[in-house]
Each structure stands twice: as structure tokens, then as C-alpha cells.
Amino acid sequence: MSDKWSAAATKKKLKENPEMLACDALMDQTIFAGCGNIIKNEVLFRTRIHPLSAIGSLPAKLLKSLVDETHNYAFDFLEWKKKYELKKHWLIYTKKTCPRDHTPVIKEYLGTAKRRTFYCTTCQVLYNG
Ligand SMILES: [Zn+2]
């Protein structure tokens, strides 16, 4: 998430990969440089996107939110990290129940990299086709 980051360029790359899963797109360093596994989980939760959603199935407004939220979260993440308070801000990562609706959180190893993914099946919507 350097100064060279551009929302337009990020959206363009996402649109070129409509079949890519949301959980993979966020870990793709050619699309979201600097985004890590914690940010992936937190941003998908904040935008209420199911990790197995296909990028091409996301409504335009939501795709924009995904790009903007990832950028914002990456900046906040660095600030929190400096203050040693990363964990305090986790809403879904390593959690057992969803803070919104108290649904048990699902923990699975998803995506091509099989990275640890936490999500809620009640408030995170699966967009697919
Ligand atoms: Zn939930």
C-alpha cells in the first residue's frame, strides 16, 4: 500500500480476474501489495463479503468498498502495530463468535494459498454467479 497505490488501477486488475475468489484477490500482491492475512479477514468482515465470493459477482459499489477499505485498513494496521494494539481491533480474526450477530465463526483454510480464514455465514454474503 505505497504512495503509488491507485484505486483505479486496483479496480482494473480486479475486473480482469472475475473468477478470482475474494480471499485470493486480497492475498494477491500484484493487486493489493502489502495486504496480509489479518487484513484480508478483517476487510472481508467489515465489507460483509464471504471469502469465497467471486470478484466478478460483486456489485460495483461493493467492489469499490473492498478496494477502499483494504487501503484504509492497511494504514490503520501500521498505526496499530506501532502501538502494539493490533489485537484490540480484530473483529473476526481468531474470534469464536461474530460480534454483530453472535453466530459461531467459521475457521477454514481457504484459497489457493490455504490461508487461515475466519468468517460469519450470517452477515457475510456469498456472491457467486
Ligand atoms: Zn455475523
pLDDT at 3 over 90: no
CATH number for region 7-119: 1.10.8.50
Is there a contact between 50 and 127 (Cβ–Cβ < 8 Å)? yes
Q: For residue range 91-109, what is the model confidence (pLDDT) as tens digits?
A: 999 999 999 999 999 999 9
In angstroms, the CA 10 to CA 31 distance is: 6
What is the C-alpha separation between 55 and 18, in angstroms, rounded?
5
- 126 confidence band (pLDDT: 50, 70, 90): very high
Centre of ligand 1 from the C-alpha of residue 42, in Å:
12
Q: What is the Å distance from ligand 1's center to 7 Cα?
A: 27
pLDDT band (50, 70, 90) for residue 20:
very high
Residues 11 and 60: their CA atoms lie apart, in Å, by 10
